[in-house]
Amino acid sequence: MLFSSMTYLLLFFPIFIFLYFLNKNVHYRNTILLLASLTFYAWGEVTTLPYMFIIAIVNYTLTRALDKTEDKKRLLFVWILVILNILPLAYFKYSNFFLDNINIVLNTQFTINEAFLPLGISFYTFRNISYIIDVYRKKFPAEKSFFIVLNYILLFPTLISGPIVRFETIREEYHERKITVDDVVEGLERFIIGLAKKVLIANQVAVIAANVFSITDLNSLNSTQVYIAVISFTLQIYFDFSGYSDMAIGIGRIFGFHFLENFNYPYIATSITDFWKRWHISLSTWFRDYIYIPLGGNRVSMLRWILNIAIVWFTTGLWHGAAWNFVLWGVYFGVLLVLEKLFLGKVLSFLKGINHLIVIFLIMISWVIFNSNSVDQIMIFIQRMIFIQPYDMNTLIELNFGNYWPYYVLGLLFSAPIIPWLDTQCKTSTIYNFAKKLIVLALFVLCIIFLIDSSYNPFIYFKF
């Protein structure tokens, strides 16, 4: 069930919000939240619910044991727990990928039963690991209530597509939280803005991106097609994923939780480092805190630092999917970050004014790698982007761009922090604040109209 589906908007969400606010008792509200999470997950994939209960029991029991251990056994406990959480992810997501590659290399025919991918397994596995390691590091004691641990693992706003919410950020709110009218209003506004990002921008530009990236005759592609497709996907993945994060943050706020931001206008970045401080923040900080820094970070020799970067970005790429284009995408960013450290950062600083354009071009190439089906497709797309062919008006007509250009204007406009700037400039204006609420309400109505009118409602990160 997507947040942008009619089932969620008109059935699931209203019912559980109504039940949630019937009683102010935090235990009652946690119970309703757990029921909502169970229903939400079971709606899409009831068969893996037993696994969720098993992993909750294992994590609860062993982290409690870990918390009571003061000797070298702590390290053993944490390794056992991490491995127990990673093994299902390795099986469900990567077993066929690794076997296929072994068969190619060794010319063998090893097979395994087709493993389906449980919804959101990459996200909640990383969330579970952060909880385990933070208990090991004594950031907080292991949670005494199994009910709360299960609630955290199944937390439906972030369950299937993030953000990766760490237990330390919401631990106190599980035990005590006060919800004000402002929390509900701001949460609803944030949710609707995220919904508008998804429905009114991402879904619209996705049409052209999907059409061009699905062309099999690669030699027939021209630069106009490629640039329109790449710009489309660049906008789609940002508004798709940041929109979903906005909706999750908004839902959490309505329920009384304060999730950290996951996106901070990444397309205004002036370096690759800056981009990754703004893009999918919960994931990039997860890799920083649980892999990069434990490996030594940048407080090591140059060669060891490069190895650390290689490990982190190979893993980051593989986390996104069991395919070589995702691995290549991760390696690509790893190489860029090394080059930026060595000399590219100084070049970008020197080229103020155009450094942003250079970074955006490099990011667009990364999305080509991310969204392509083959190395040949990657090479053709990049070739058409670098060796630009004459502009082709007929291509725009064939792509029906005339019907979609307003969504591109909106996408480019709202990729910049216009709303925060307006909020700062007009925060004391009653007229502005009232107009903003009317606009948000109008956006919700418009989203409903678009969803009724079209069944096309893809979500890129849903499969991760």
Task: Tell me which residues are annotated as active site.
Answer: 320
CA nearest 317: which of 305, 326, 309, 325? Answer: 326
CA dist 253 and 284 (Å) reads 23
CB 370 within 8 A of CB 332: no
Give the N- to C-terminal CA distance of the chain in Å, as an integer: 15
CA nearest 69: which of 141, 157, 3? Answer: 141
Query: Cβ–Cβ contacts within 10 Å for residue 199, how many?
Result: 23
- Establish how many alpha carbons lie within 13 A of residue 334's alpha carbon, considering only the half-sphere containing its beta carbon: 22
Rg of the chain on CA atoms, in Å: 23
Query: Cβ–Cβ contacts within 10 Å for residue 129, how many?
Result: 20
Interior angle at CA 60, CA 58 and CA 65, nearest 5:
95
The tokens describing 381, both together, are 């797309």
User: Quick one: CA dihedral 166, 172, 178, 182, positive or negative?
Assistant: negative
CB 30 within 8 A of CB 148: yes
